[in-house]
Each structure stands twice: as structure tokens, then as C-alpha cells.
Chains A and B, each alone.
Chain A
């Protein structure tokens, strides 16, 4: 019997890798909820208490969750809702309405969505009947009929709250907040936004009705905490089917976060941004390199993933240009140096290029005007250069003023890495004034 158990515990290596991929992918890509939001205990408690009072006591409230992108605002709210709905009293009573500023782009759409999610009486099947004005009147009437002690509390979640502030007259916000401040059906209005100046967007009568409660998600993890977070994110849970494999995997993760080069890479990511989404991105890139042949994350994987994350997009485009296009870019760089960033046109660039050709006296790059023009247009299509004003139709293309959208460091770096770059062009680029 015990022998069979041991046999069961040892899965084939392929099976283990599949399991690992599955578990970690759900964790990293599907934003799986943690058991407890880390570092956000006070915020969690505040929000939970607030929503509990709405659900249980029927007290109306409004609150804004503010924090930078990727700081876990939605995660916090979902955790709170999960914990709240464990209580029977809240679960039976609370009605939820979820709106998103990116989907409900005006009040008409938002109102239909609210009516649909509340299952009011003017909903038949999935369609909402009546005009915009009737819908608003109906909803307000319904909310007005309710009262604190007898009607079910409604939770309104407004994701991307700042976009709702751009609706006409802010009618929806006014009405939701007005309900939350008057003796009607109990509501809780929870807004989620990343803008710190969101209150300045509100009209003064809307602002006066908002309770000015803000929950800020501005966590400040230290680097050791960040490392610990990386480790927990990559570690396998205790209930992994193959205990031996999980132990080896977790040990390898432990050595990974203690490795000098890996720590350096993580330090660089930490310096760049502290949000969890970019960390998940990095770890996901590492994870995709784990296979049967290489059943652990090595520091080299982390280096490679970090190189992918940090590579410069414009420099990559420059590597793919032809030599002529590169020459034009260099000519533009010289023009920028000489004339201190003044805009240029095709003729000026061509002249600069001709000067180089005369000096070099070999006619290898002596192209016709139409070829130069084509190359110039190609650069414009890649948005490496950009016309000064968009009213382009009137001016001939040769004389249209342009600006270079590249930094000098990018050009020089790209030249160093350009495959088989001719030496004279390199020299031309180096010479400060041609």
C-alpha cells in the first residue's frame, strides 16, 4: 500500500512541468486573488467595515480608491467583496452593479447597464425599454421609494471613475452621490481611479455630495519585501501533487533569489517600477522558458527576460533600416546638432547627405532623388520623423518641415549594433560637424 502511495507521489517529469505551468500561469496572468492582500491591511479593514455597514446596517456611503496603475486597486476591492460575501447577512441582501468607464462611455449606456444589472421592471429579457429620460426617471423613482431599513442595499462599483466625470453635466455621478446623501434606498458608491487629482474633476455640487473618503493605495515596499514577493509568486503551494518535485522547485527558487546576478536584475526592475504587474510580466517571461529539459528557473532566464523587457523599441527599428535610410537619419542628426533642433525638410537632409558624398568621393551611395524621397517616406511611415503640422496637403513633400523623433543616444547605439555597418558611415556619424 505504502509502495503504491510513493509511486503515486512521483509523477513523470512532463506531468510536473505541465502542472507548474498551469498553477503559475493562473497566478501571474489571471490575477488570481491572494488570501490576504499584502501590505494593505488597514485599507482592507477600512473598506470592509464600510461596505459591511452598508450591507448590514443600511448606511449609505461613498468612497474612492486611488492609486497608481498596477497597485492592486481592483484586487483589494475583490478581496473585500469575497470576504464580505462570506457573511450570510451581507450575501443575502447586497445587490451589486459593476460599471466601467471604458465600457459605459456615456450616461445613456451606463443607465441601461444599471437597469439591467438591477433587474428593474422595465427590463424584459436582456433589453431595457424606454428612452434615456424615462430610464433615469424610473431608476430615480425606484431608488427614492426605498428606505434605509427595508430595501436591499445596492453597491455601485465605478471602475475608471475619472472617465465618468467627463460625461455631460456629470448627471450620473450627481444622482448616485445624491442618493447616497439622502434618505432613499441605501447605496454604496465605490470609485476606482488612478488619477490623484480626481476630485478636481468633479463639479462643485457633485463634489459637495461626495463624502471625501479616499483610500490611497500608495504602498512603499522595500527591496527585501520585493524579493520575498518574487519568491512567493514563484513558489509552489503545499498541495502540489508531487511533493518531491515541489520541494526541489522551491529550493531552486530560493537559490534564484539569492543569486547575485538575479538580484541585480531584480534590483533594476525594482528601481524602475514597484508595481506588481510589471513583476508578473517579468516572471511570466521567465516561466515560459521552463521546459522538461530544463525544469527550473535559472538566473540566465531572468537575465534574458529582463533584456526583453528593457530593450529599446526605437533602437530595434533602427536595426532594421537600410543603409540609405540610416544615412538620412545621420544627416538629420547633424542638422539637429548644427541648427539646435530646428525643423528640417527633405531638401536640407539631401544637401547634408550630398556633402558627405562629395567628401568621400566614392559614389557607392549616390542615389537618385526619387529613391531618397522613398526612403524619407518610409522613415515617416515608421514615425521616426514627424511633420511639424498636420495640414500637409498644401505643401509639396520635399519642402514639408519635419522633426526627428529620436534621441541622439539611440542613433549612436543603433549604429554600434548595426549589422555590417560601413566604416565611413560610422565615421561620418561620429564626426560632430560634417
Chain B
């Protein structure tokens, strides 16, 4: 990389258009990227993390915290908000000033790159991984007068796993040094990660300060959407409730909820008679969006398959029934296929053509196949349930 280069995307020649009507406005507000000023439904977690970090900063000590929860439950957003509030408090001199550094396990190519990124964000220095580790070691173990507390956020912690676990060990060992003044907040998905993948001396240094983010309930999801919309009247109340109930029943992922709402506004806009006077997003629009995003395409795919492909699927099921197994070789299925062709009054297919049909079904994963060089000996399995296939074939 050339020295002093400032990475940037070129700026646009024409400015971006601003939202013109209510639905567009709602869509902008509902985009996942527009994080609101305060996160609703996470007040308790916010308070816990805030007081933990604040007390460490005020005392000038260090410590670790482990935060877990399934994706889309607001972990990273909450921590960011805590940091924003603390920064504000530091600016008005309520608490001593501190440094905030953030790394993400998924955004680096190798666990050891963590050292490089931390060092670069702390001092702006560039170094190799080994050198950076040594420099950080020195920084955190030596006493220095008027040292500021450092808050380090480690996102996607499970990606920092190495065989000797030295990266994790170092991250959790530095806060225990007397002069380090380091607070480490770690985020991952699974609750039992420390027990599962960490060796004892690492897990013990991580400590027992843990917090888990529960999936959102439907009331919370509804509140999140309402607070995002912030008096922009674009949704019917029932529609919102339907979305939040559906998502809460499935995963409790707020991202999914917002994406579905966004899609529903699009559907509403398209279905409206005149684009300017489009009304509220109703139940029907939301239903359509939910269908689009949750339904699986297997049944449609079977319905749209060509006649020979459908016959082949029927032959597979017939052969499974005959064998009483869920697996058969192509040769066995092919015999059934020929018989079905005769029953349907079609010209029987050649083996090459039968193989081609089978491969096409395998390419879109309706069937699971062995490598095709096995020819007629390859084993065939269904990737959908037999009932789905029968339903799809019978429906018309």
C-alpha cells in the first residue's frame, strides 16, 4: 500500500435523491443501516454494560466481559451506543477520558492480524503481527503516568480461535496486568463458547462477567419498528403486529423484521394504482412479503420442471418405496423411469438422456448425487421430503 494513501470511494457527481413520499421516507427509516439514537427494548442490557465500563474507567482498573446472543439481537448496536454515551460523558468531564478501539474477527484474514489492527488503531503505527504483539505487550505491562483507559471491543470472538489460543490468551491476560487499564468487551453468538473452545487458562482469564441477549419478543419487535418509523404514518397497526409475530416465532432477528417491512412498502408502492397517492401498508402486502422471504422454492421448482424431470422424481419415489430405503442407484431408478415412460405413452429415454435429467435435478439440489463420473452406478437421494414431491406433482 502506498504511504499516506487515504482509502476512499469516489464521490458521486450528482447528489443522491431525497425520499419524495411517505413510503420512501418510511423505507429510509426502516433500513437496517439507519441506527436510531436510542435502542428501544435493550435498556437493561445498556445499563449493565454502561455501569460495568464506567466503573472500570473511573477506578482505572481493567476487566473483561463476554456478551452472547443470536445474530440480529442488537449486541453490537448496544455496545456502540454505550460507547457513544460514555464518550459524551468524557467530553463533559464527568468521567476521565478514554480510548475506544474496535476489532471484528470476521474483518481480518488471520487471528494474528488482531494485533496489527489494535496497534494501528491505538497509535497509527504499522507493524507485522509479531512486532505488533511485542509492542502491545510493552504498552500494557509497563507503567506510564497519565495513561488513559483503553476500551477494546472484540466482535465475532470465535474467529480469533487458534490452535494454541495465544491471541485470545493475550487479549484476556492484558487486562489483569496492574498497569494495563484495559477493558475488553467480547461479543459472540453462542452462550457456552468459553466452555466449548477455550482451554482452562483462557476461560478463567475471561472471567464470569457474562451477559446474554435474548431474542426479541413480538412486542419488542413491534416497539422497535414503531420507534423507527417515529410518527411517519405508513403502516397499519395489524400489519406491524403480523410481521413482528411471525419473525418472533421464527428467530427474533430484528434485521429480518426490518427487511420484511421494507419489502412490504415496495409491494405496497407497486400495487397502488397511482404512485403518488399510495396508501398504508396493509396486511395483504405484508403477507406477500412474508411469503416471498420465508417460503421455500422447492415445490415451485418441481412444478416448473420438465415432464421427464417430474417423471424421474416419481421414479425415485417409486424405487424408494420398493426398496424401503431412502437411497437408490441411478440404474435402479432408471428401470422405474423407463416403466413410467411406457405407462405415460412417451418414447423411452436413453441412458445418456436419463443421466442428463438426473444431473439437472442434482444441479438445483432437488436431488443429492454422488460425483457424476460414477455414471449409472451413482447413488441418488432426495433433498426434499417425499410428501413435498408428491404434493407438487399432484397439485395440477
A contact residues vs B (CB 8 Å cutoff)? 45, 49, 56-60, 66, 68-69, 89, 92-93, 95, 107, 118, 120-122, 124, 129-130, 132-134, 136-143, 145-146, 148-154, 169, 171, 174-175, 178, 181-185, 194-197, 204-205, 207-209, 211-214, 216, 218-220, 268, 270-274, 310-315, 383, 386, 403, 405-407, 409-410
Contact = CB atoms under 8 A, between A and B. Distances in A.
Given A121-B5, A273-B356, A310-B352, 16 more contacts: A59-B27, A68-B301, A129-B2, A133-B109, A134-B1, A143-B9, A148-B33, A171-B107, A181-B33, A195-B363, A212-B256, A270-B307, A271-B306, A274-B304, A405-B376, A405-B377
B224 to A, nearest CB: 15
A181 B255 contact: yes
29 contacts: A45-B270, A59-B27, A68-B360, A69-B360, A93-B12, A95-B9, A121-B8, A143-B9, A149-B16, A152-B11, A174-B106, A178-B107, A182-B32, A182-B33, A183-B35, A194-B363, A196-B297, A196-B298, A196-B364, A211-B262, A220-B303, A220-B304, A272-B308, A273-B306, A274-B304, A310-B350, A312-B352, A315-B351, A410-B351
Nearest to A90: B14
B363 A68 contact: yes
A268 B375 CA distance: 23
B138 interface: no
Interface of B: 1-2, 5-17, 19, 24, 27-28, 31-35, 70-72, 106-110, 113, 116-117, 156, 159, 189, 253, 255-256, 259, 262-263, 266, 270, 292-294, 296-298, 300-301, 303-304, 306-309, 331, 334, 338, 346-347, 349-353, 356-357, 360, 363-366, 373-377, 383
Closest 9 CB pairs of A and B: A208-B71, A142-B7, A312-B350, A58-B16, A271-B307, A218-B304, A121-B5, A141-B7, A183-B33
Contacts of A92: 12-14
B331 A407 contact: yes
Given A134-B1, A273-B308, A406-B376, A152 B331 contact: no
A272 B159 CA distance: 47
Contacts of A208: 71-72, 253, 255-256
A185 to B, nearest CB: 5
Contacts of B71: 204-205, 207-209
A122 B300 contact: no
B28 to A, nearest CB: 7
A58 B15 CA distance: 9
A356 to B, nearest CB: 25
Given A57-B16, A171-B109, A272 B8 contact: no
Contacts of B117: 137
B277 to A, nearest CB: 19
B145 to A, nearest CB: 33
Contacts of B113: 133
A181 B308 CA distance: 42
A118 B9 contact: yes
A121 B15 CA distance: 23
A261 B261 CA distance: 53
B264 to A, nearest CB: 12
